[in-house]
Structure 1
Amino acid sequence: MLKSDATLRARQLGAELRRSRREAGLGAEHVADKLGVSMSKISRLETGSCGPKLEDVAGMLALYGVTGHARAQLLELCREIAAGERGWWQRREMSHKQRTLIELESEATRIINYESLLIPGLLQTGEYTRALLQGMGVVPENEIEDRMVTRLLRQSVLRKERAPQLVAIIYEAALRQHVGGPDVMRRQFEYLVHAAAWPHVTIRVVPFSNGVHSGLDGPFAKLEFASAPSVLYIANLTSSLFLEEREDIDVHNRAIKGLSKAALDAGESAKLIAGLAIELDRPPSA
Structure 2
Amino acid sequence: MAQSKKKDSAPPTVQYFAAVLRLLRERSGLTQDELGALMNYTGSAVSAVETCAKPPTDEFIDAAEKALDAGGLLRSAIKYLRLERYPAHFQGLAQLEQEALSLSSYCTHLIHGLLQTEEYTTALFDYAFPPLDREEVTKLVAARMDRKALFDRKPAAVVNVILEEAALRRHIGGPEVMRAQYAHLTECTARPNVVVQVMPMSQAGHAGLPGPMTLIETPEETPVAYLEGHGQSILLSKPEEVGVLARRYAMIRSQALRPEESVRFIEKLMGEL
Q: Structure 1 CA distance, aligned partners of 2:143 and 2:86?
A: 10
* Pick aligned residue for 1:174 from 145, 167, 173: 167
Separation in 1 of the partners of 2:130 and 2:255? Answer: 33
The residue aligned with 2:37 is none
- 2:182 is aligned, of 172, 176, 189, to 189
Partner SS, residue 214 of structure 2: strand
Deviations 1:3-57 (A, max 9, x none): xxxxxxxxxxxxx99xx79x958xxxxxxxxxxxxxxxxxxxxxxxxxxxxxxxx
| 1:101 aligned residue (93, 105, 110) | 93
In structure 1, the residue matched to 2:248 is: 255
Cα distance in structure 2, aligned partners of 1:199 and 1:258: 23
- How many Å apart are 1:131 and its aligned residue? 0.6
Q: Is 1:237 paired with 2:230?
A: yes
- Whether the 8 Å CA contact 2:196–2:262 is kept in 1: the answer is yes
How far off is 1:94 after superposition? Answer: 4.7
- Structure-2 separation of matches of 1:278 and 1:133: 26
SS at match of 2:220: coil
Q: Map Cα deviations across residues 176-229 of structure 1 (whole Å, 9 max, x no partner).
A: 111010000110000000000100000000111111111112111100124242
Give the alignment's Cα RMSD to 1 decimal. 2.6
2:132 to 113, 122, 140: 140
1:117 corresponds to which letter in structure 2? H
Q: CA deviation at 1:100?
A: 2.6
Distance 2:156 2:86 in 1: 25
2 CA distance for matches of 1:153 and 1:135? 21
Alpha-carbon separation, structure 2, partners of 1:200 and 1:220 = 20
Map of 1:52 onto structure 2: none
Task: Provide structure 1 residue ranges, at least 5 long, that are not aligned to the other structure.
Answer: 1-15, 26-63, 65-91, 281-286
Q: What TM-score, normalized by structure 1, do the two folds share? A: 0.64
Unaligned 5+ segments in structure 2 are 1-11, 22-72, 74-83
Aligned-partner residue type, residue 133 of structure 2? E
* Alpha-carbon distance in 1 for matches of 2:85, 2:219: 29
Instruction: Give the aligned partner of residue 211 of structure 1.
Output: 204
Query: Normalising by the residue count of structure 2, what TM-score does the alignment of the two structures yield?
Result: 0.67
Q: Larger relative CO (CA 8 A, sep 6+): 1 or 2? A: 1
Q: Which amino acid aligns with 2:93?
A: L
Q: Which amino acid aligns with 1:129?
A: T
- Matched positions, count: 198
Does residue 198 of structure 1 match 2:191?
Answer: yes
SS in 2 for 1:208: coil
